[in-house]
Amino acid sequence: MEVSVHIRHLFKMIILAVCLTGVSSPAFAKIHQISYDQRGLYDQLIKKIKPGDVLVFPNQKRFTLGKRLDGGNRGSSVRVYEIKEEPQFVLRIPKSEQDVPSISHQIEGLPFLKQNGAPVIEVVEVLDLFYMKVERLPANYIRIEDYFKRPDMFEKFKIQIEEALKSFSKKTALFHDISDFGTEQIAYLPDTDRILIFDWGSLSRLSILVRNETIIHIDPSWSRRSLWSSAISGFRHSKLERNLRDKAISLLQEFNQIAIQERKAVVEKYPLASEEIRKQTGLELEKERAAVFGRVHKFQGNCLEWLRKIERIDWDSY
């Protein structure tokens, strides 16, 4: 009897400690199993997932969720959580069954960006259809979109941000576009004084392609358009106050010219391959893009057939 009383008292103390600290103990966490062969409950259960819960994926990786974080440009289709076991990383998971392609688009587009030197966030681990484990942005990061909209808030970092954007323009000069690129998808990191792309899509292109010190592909618009061209257009049609809009456009045009000057240096440095080779390269590049496009859209077409549910394990039955 006395032992039973002590056990009940100990149990009450544990419950009280959890309530007072607001911390979800692993012993009381809900565990959600994600598998390939289940379907139908993902949309229902994703709404119930909360910090402290544990996700178990088909590759047997387990993640205890911390607080929910900003999802960036894909916030409407991807949920981002800190990982309690590894707070330096975050977990990106689809927000619903229909949003699963958002994860696959990023996984599909990542190799091309890294291969061509784009400064993207570090991706540590992926499981297609299910999740991306990526570097966590520091708490003091500054989204470039916010800098253009409210420059007064970041006056302290004005010189550093604009110099970092110039450096970024040089690094990405050879890109014709980066899928879904915009000022809302890049951030300035004060601690490391750099610009980082933290959101992207599956299809990106180069304006100039150099192989073996020869230009084997060059886009007709290489001397006019850069990554910043679409951002310039976006700000022209934005509802920002005129003075802010004009200032943003002026800066973006400056960055556009920096990228074009970098391209001109490349064109002056390397010889052009024959027209036949450039034509063949263009066809090969389009074929590669079509293959990526086909994989992505084939996946989208079969998404509801493939995607599976998250099912909470009934631990009471063990």
Over residues 102-122, the pLDDT tens digits come to 888 888 899 999 999 999 999
Res. 311 pLDDT band, cuts 50 70 90: very low
Strand bridging mode 54-56 / 31-34: parallel
Over residues 211-220, the pLDDT tens digits come to 899 998 899 9
Helix, strand, coil % over all residues of the chain, rounded to 5: 50, 20, 30
Q: Domains, the chain, ranges and CATH?
A: 25-136+308-317 (3.30.200), 142-273 (no CATH)
Higher pLDDT, 78 or 285: 78
Give residue 35's pLDDT: 66
Answer yes or no: is pLDDT of 241 > 80. yes
- 21-35, 206-220, 256-270, 294-308: least confidently modelled range: 294-308
Res. 76 pLDDT band, cuts 50 70 90: low
Rounded Cα distance between 168 and 188, Å, is: 10
Answer yes or no: is pLDDT of 47 > 90. no
Residues 6+ apart with CB under 8 A from 304: 97, 98
Answer yes or no: is pLDDT of 292 > 80. no
Give residue 263's pLDDT: 96
